[in-house]
Amino acid sequence: MNILVIGCNGHMGQIVSKLAKEGKDFNVVAGYDRAIGEGNSFPVFDNIEKLKDFLNTNTVDVIIDFSLPEATMAILKEIATRYKIPMVIATTNITADQQKEIEEASNQIKIFKSANMSYEIKILEDVLRMVAPKLAEYDIEIVEEHHNRKVDAPSGTAKTLANAINESLGGDREIVKEYYGKRDKKQIGVHSVRGGNIVGVHTIKFIGMSDELEITHRAQSRDMFAEGALKAAKWLVENKNKSGLYNMNDLD
């Protein structure tokens, strides 16, 4: 299947292209990036109009997006919906208004969106939904760690995990990034650490008066996120539905 990679010259975009080239199911036919770069084995565009010209004469089966929200929304509006191409959105820091636009676009095309393309994170979310109600009286803290180049904080994954916990507890918890003063039992704290080349670590702490349960997911390589995006892309293409918004839960 032919892939268009958005953010192809970014770190994750390069990994997606590399793994796609090594596999037998994918062929990267083009990329889109504000930085053209050198050494790509496929044409790279930094202008949407030029990308449209390419798509008028070339077939793309699915789009994989590891870019920034502004680029994501531009590609969604000008390319994905216009040419009816399924799209995998792995971009983080999407706003509420942008999320609404994505949901509206999913009425026209198939969209797979996840802040974390690791299937194991989906399993962690399931575990937290099971554990949290049993430890509802405990203080709950989430600590996320990433490399010092990550632009958003807290991570989209940390927000997803916090929301999963909150939903399992009835939805009445406040998710906060900072504390001033006394700890509120109705708060779920989310803390960000940035340093070095940390791929991604998410630790959830359930802290009681006499004990503590800690659950940690530690990413060893960014390849896992690219592998998840490729898996999602293949699922989108093979999915017989014509439109809809999907996520990691649909890969079961």
Average pLDDT, the chain: 93
Average pLDDT, integer, range 188-194: 95
Asked whether 29 and 35 are in contact (CB, 8 A), the reply is no
Could you state, in order of their start, the residue ranges of all structural domains in the chain? 2-117+223-251, 119-218
Annotated catalytic residue within 110, 113, 122, 146: 146
Q: Which pTM does this prediction carry?
A: 0.80
Q: Which CATH superfamily is domain 119-218 in?
A: Dihydrodipicolinate Reductase; domain 2 (3.30.360.10)
Q: What is the C-alpha separation between 60 and 30, in angstroms, rounded?
A: 9
Residue 178 has pLDDT above 90, yes or no: no
Percent of the chain residues past pLDDT 90, beyond the cut: 79
Asked whether 203 and 37 are in contact (CB, 8 A), the reply is no
Residue 180 confidence (pLDDT): 72
Count of H helices and E strands in the chain?
A: 8, 12
Average pLDDT, integer, range 12-35: 93
Residue 183 confidence (pLDDT): 79
Average pLDDT, integer, range 10-18: 93
Query: Residues, the chain, total?
Result: 252
In the chain, the amino acid numbered 41 is: S
Average pLDDT, integer, range 217-235: 93
Q: Compute CA 198 distance to the chain's CA centroid, rounded to the nearest angstrom.
A: 17
Matching fold, domains 2-117+223-251 and 119-218: no
CATH topology of domain 2-117+223-251: Rossmann fold (3.40.50)
Residue 102 has pLDDT above 90, yes or no: yes
Where does residue 231 rank: exposed (0-12), middle (13-18), buried (19+ CB within 10 A)? middle
Q: Is 150 a catalytic residue?
A: yes
Q: Is 191 a catalytic residue?
A: no
